[in-house]
Structure formats: structure tokens, C-alpha cells
Amino acid sequence: MDGKHKTVLNLGAGIQSTAIYLLALDGELDPIDCAIFADVQEEPESVYEHIEWLKSLNGPEIITVTAGKLGDALENGTDARGNARTDGGHYISIPAFTLNPQTNKKGMIRRQCTGDFKIKPIENYIRQVLFDTPKGRPIPKDCHVKQIMGLSYDEPKRVIRVKQRFLGKPKTWSVEFPLFDLEMTRSDCVAYLKDRVPHEVPRSACVFCPFKDDHEWADLKNNDPTGWKRAVEVDNICRTGTGLDASRFLHKSCVPIDQVDFRSNDDKSGQKHLFSGWQDECEGYCGN
């Protein structure tokens, strides 16, 4: 790696970021110096197995960073740094669904897990390790880091959001979206990976991430007993507290996850199931 100029891939270890890593390895994209995976320690086992396969290719170094186990912070009611709510309530950083018991109005908690457990650990590693910069200090003005994000052509709104975030950064930081620039969609990435990877590339997301549709919840319940058990545990943790704090759920129905019938109305009636999926998962930092 050039000591003053580095190109870093934010590796979610899902479809899009895997495609970028392999395209760069194959010489179809500009080379990267390294890929950084921010581990929330709550991914399905298939994700960790996939990362080990990527490492076996002996391509650009894959570095794992972590801010700790996300579920522990949820259980303790704190953020990644151990800070609790000042009102004494139980803090939940994932985008859990909410139900107001007085009005029956549904909502969603503002998501902070991506920032605390994905973005910050990667950026801290870039500053403190790749550029040997003391904690809390910016990287030197004569240095530059280019972060590569796995957002595809069918995600223009997410590309815009990330670009807007980088507008607030110094000129020593920049961001690029090679899949978007190549007009490669998620489906294009799936087609490319089909002949490039000997296994199905998993979706990278916490086992208890609320950004799942019923098809994915059913798959977790039926095929990953360890992950499903953890999702049920965290769903119960979401309702730790009293009042409105006791009305938080992983599932959009605002029903405890182990009581949900994940079949679609068409499935229940014997008609064909059409799967659409979430389109706004973790803004390119996990789930890609």
C-alpha cells in the first residue's frame, strides 16, 4: 500500500461488495489496497464462512474490525460506547418497529447501529491504523483515502445519501461507487457471481435485523436454528422497559417474532408467492 494514498473497500460480504472485491481481483476494476469488514458479531454463520472463502483467494487483504457485539449493547440498553439514555429508559439502536398502545400508531426507531457498529469502526481503523493517526485527529493533509462502497445502479437514493455524508468530510476523504458507475444492478452482480463463486453468496445482515421480509424471516426460522433463537432473544430485549419502551418489535406487524405467521396472504390461500424484498437496508454498509 502507498503510505499516503489508499483505496479501501467497505466489505459488507454480501452480493454487491463481494462482486467489487472479485472484479478488482480479476482486474476488471481498479485495484484496492484492502477491504475492511465491520463485524457486529451477530451475522449468520454463512457470512463468516464466505469471508473465509474470500480470504482463501489471496487477494487484497481483508481486515476485520469490530465495535463489540451488537446484541450485548441492546441487552445492556446502551450504545456501542456504553452510554445509556439520560431518562433512564432502555436504549435500542436497531430500527425496531414501534406500536403506540394509546393510538395503535406504528413507527420505527431511528437507526444508529450502522453508524456505531459499521461506519465508525471502519473509519477509526483507517485513521488510526492505515494512517497511524492518533485517536480523535484527522488524517494528515497530504494523505488521501478513497472508500469504495457496494451500492449498485438500482440504488440511486442510497448513493445520494452517502455522497451527502461525504460532503461534510475533509478533502482527504472521498467515496466512489464502481457498480453504480458501471450501471451494474444487484441482479447483474448475482449473475456475475453465479459463475465466480462456488456457493450462494449470503446476504450480510444481523440475524435479528428488522429489515427482513417474511420470506427471509421464514428462511431464518426454518434453516438457521441458532440465528432464529438469537432473533427471538433480541425481539424480547426490544420490549425491555415500561410504557412505550415495552412496545418495540423486530417484525413490522408489531407482534412478538415467535408468534408471527410468515406466510403471505397468497401462500395462506394457496396462491403464488411473489417476493419483493427490502430496498433500504443499512445504506450500503451491511446487507451488501
The pLDDT tens digits for 106-161 are 999 998 999 999 999 999 999 999 999 998 899 999 999 999 999 999 999 999 99
Q: Which contacts of 212-217 are long-range, i.e. CB under 8 A and separated by 24 or more positions?
A: 212/278, 213/275, 213/276, 213/277, 213/278, 214/260, 214/262, 214/263, 214/264, 215/262, 215/273, 215/275, 215/277, 216/277, 217/251, 217/257, 217/260, 217/262
pLDDT in tens, 30-85: 999 999 999 999 999 999 999 999 999 999 999 999 999 999 999 999 999 999 99
Q: CATH: 3.40.50, 1.10.3470, 3.30.70, 1.10.3110. Which one for 5-278?
A: 3.40.50
Q: What ranges do the domains of the chain cover? A: 5-278
DSSP category for residue 115 = I
Is the per-residue pLDDT at 256 higher than 90? yes
What pLDDT sits at residue 276? 44
pLDDT tier at 10, thresholds 50, 70, 90: very high
Beta strand ranges found along the chain (DSSP E): 5-10, 34-38, 61-65, 97-99, 106-108, 144-148, 173-176, 248-249
Is the per-residue pLDDT at 274 higher than 50? no
Task: Give the N- to C-terminal CA distance of the chain in Å, as an integer.
Answer: 25
pTM of the model as a whole: 0.90
pLDDT tier at 243, thresholds 50, 70, 90: confident
Percentage with pLDDT > 90 across the chain: 84
